A and B are shown apart, each in its own frame.
Chain A
Amino acid sequence: GAVVSQHPSRVICKSGTSVKIECRSLDFQATTMFWYRQFPKQSLMLMATSNEGSKATYEQGVEKDKFLINHASLTLSTLTVTSAHPEDSSFYICSARSGLAGGNLDEQYFGPGTRLTVT
């Protein structure tokens, strides 16, 4: 199946600093990428949807100035958590859909996740 990678897999940062997480589709082009956040024993919550070359669409309650998303190419999206606080500590998972016009649900592939710990 298609492969989505994330880097780094784990990151620890100090409160007030920024951290960037990369998401890459390795063997397909992704016109649409998604960023999710998952707290322990909880579901994946969609944070934002990004389409290559355009601004991301954020879900209600997600601060767009805090979680900066850039989808600069068909294989790369980045999530930058700015001025991180301990409550931002979570498991961040990206996902990418292959195919044109946003792709289909069974063509949506998930990355392995990034564990962010803010101290």
Chain B
Amino acid sequence: QKEVEQDPGPLSVPEGAIVSLNCTYSNSAFQYFMWYRQYSRKGPELLMYTYSSGNKEDGRFTAQVDKSSKYISLFIRDSQPSDSATYLCAMSGSSASKIIFGSGTRLSIRP
């Protein structure tokens, strides 16, 4: 079993829709949870960074962490074609530890 599971997609939604991206994990030691956006042939870019359980909002993006279920989500409101990319969930046990990545979900927003 992988430490982090993420549906690879692809996921295609119309512009303006709410997008929900999810990951599950098995290691209860994870405390830090991140979402990265990766455009084709580019390096990942940090979108959201949360510690422990709870919600965090930043503009059109909301990250949710449910440690009891070992489940994290990223919601994108009012999705735009420019949001089309691969979204990687990632997590770590401490702020200085290595980051474990999910396999990424390919998202396409149709104009």
Q: How many Å from the CB of A37 to the closest CB on chain B?
A: 11
Of the candidates A4, A102, A105, which one forms a contact with B99 in the assembled complex, judged by CB atoms under 8 Å apart? A105
Segment at the B interface, from A14-22, A69-77, A81-89, A106-114: A106-114
Q: Considering the chains assembled together, what is the distance between the CA atoms of A93 and B4 in angstroms? A: 20
Segment at the A interface, from B14-22, B41-49, B60-68: B41-49
Verify B41–A113 contact, CB threshold 8 A: yes
Set of chain B residues within 8 Å of A95, measured between Cβ atoms: 43
Nearest chain B residue, comparing its CB with the CB of A10:
B41
Set of chain A residues within 8 Å of B8, measured between Cβ atoms: 41
Q: Considering the chains assembled together, what is the distance between the CA atoms of A102 and B98 in angstroms? A: 11
Of the candidates A46, A91, A93, A115, which one forms a contact with B98 in the assembled complex, judged by CB atoms under 8 Å apart? A46
Verify A110–B45 contact, CB threshold 8 A: yes
Set of chain B residues within 8 Å of A46, measured between Cβ atoms: 98-99
Verify A44–B88 contact, CB threshold 8 A: yes
Q: How many Å from the CB of B16 to the closest CB on chain A?
A: 27
Residues of A at the B interface (CB closer than 8 Å) are 4, 6, 34, 41-46, 49, 91, 93, 95, 101-106, 108-113, 115
